[in-house]
Amino acid sequence: MTEPAVSDGREYWESIAASWLGWTQMPGVDPYGEAFNLPELLTLVPPPESLTLDIGCGEGRVGRLLTAQGHAVVGLDGSPTLTGEARGQGAAVAVADGARLPIGAAVADLVVSSMVLMDVPDLADHLAEIARVLRPAGTLVMSVSHPISNAGFALGDEHLTYALGDYYIEERTDVPATRDGRSMPFRYWPRTLSTYLTALGNAGLAVVEAREPRPSAAFVDALPQARQWTRVPMFLHLRAVKR
C-alpha cells in the first residue's frame, strides 16, 4: 500500500478508512481492544445523563457499547467513510474535525475519546474543543496508548530492555501491521505523560482518576503473548472534569 502524502490526522484516516474497516471485520483481529482495553475504559464512564459525545467515533463500536448502557450518544469523526459505516448501523453521527466541532458550547455531560488523542497532530486544539462542548463539571473519559509503550520498550525474561524509540521524542510515527494478508498502516503522534497532563490542565480539564490497566490472568491464559503487558502498561485511561 502506498502511504498517503498527508500529515493531517483527519485526512489520513479517511485515506485508510477502507483498510481499517476490513481490518476491524476480521474475527479476533483486536483482542486487546475488545476484551481488555474497552471493558476497562467503560468502568470509568459515569452514569448516562442527557448527552454523550463519542469524539473520534470511527465506525461506531464505542458508541454502540455506550448506547447499550443507556447513553444518548452522538458520534463525531473526521472520516466520511467511517461515519457512514456507523450511520449504517443506526448510530447518530456527523462528520467533523475534532479541533473545530460543529456543536455549541456547554452542551454535553460526557465526552468519550477512545484511542484517538494519540492519533491527532494538534492535541491542544482537540482538548480545547472537548472542554468547550462540555458543561461545567462535565466529564471526559479518554484512553491512549500508554506513553511508555509508545517509546518502544521490550521485555526480556528478567528485565525491561530499551528497544526502539526515545520516550521524550514526540514525532509522527508510522507503524505498518499485517494480519492474515491484510495490511493496516497505523499512524500516531507519541507523547509523554507530562504532555498529556499539561495539555489537559491548559484546556481547563482536571484529571481526577488515572488508570494503567493490567491484563487479568484469564486474559493472559487466552492470549499468552499479552503476558508482557502485566509488567509494563499498554494503555493509559484518564477521567477528567471540566473546571
pLDDT value of position 118: 94
pLDDT value of position 163: 53
pLDDT in tens, 92-114: 999 999 999 999 999 999 999 99
Show the 3-state SS of the chain: CCCCCCCCHHHHHHHCHHHHHHHHCCCCCCHHHHHHHHHHHHCCCCCCCCCEEEECCCCCHHHHHHHHCCCCEEEEECCHHHHHHHHHCCCCEEECECCECCCCCCCEEEEEEECCCCCCCCHHHHHHHHHHHEEEEEEEEEEEECHHHHCCEEECCCCEEECCCCCCCCCCEEEEEEECCEEEEEEECCCCHHHHHHHHHHCCEEEEEEECCCCCHHHHHHCHHHHHHHCCCCEEEEEEEEC
Lowest model confidence (mean pLDDT) among 26-35, 155-164, 199-208:
155-164
pLDDT in tens, 68-89: 999 999 999 999 999 999 999 9
Query: Residue 164: which pLDDT band, with cuts at 50, 70 and 90?
Result: low
Q: Give yes or no for residue 129 having a pLDDT over 60.
A: yes
Query: Residue 24: which pLDDT band, with cuts at 50, 70 and 90?
Result: confident
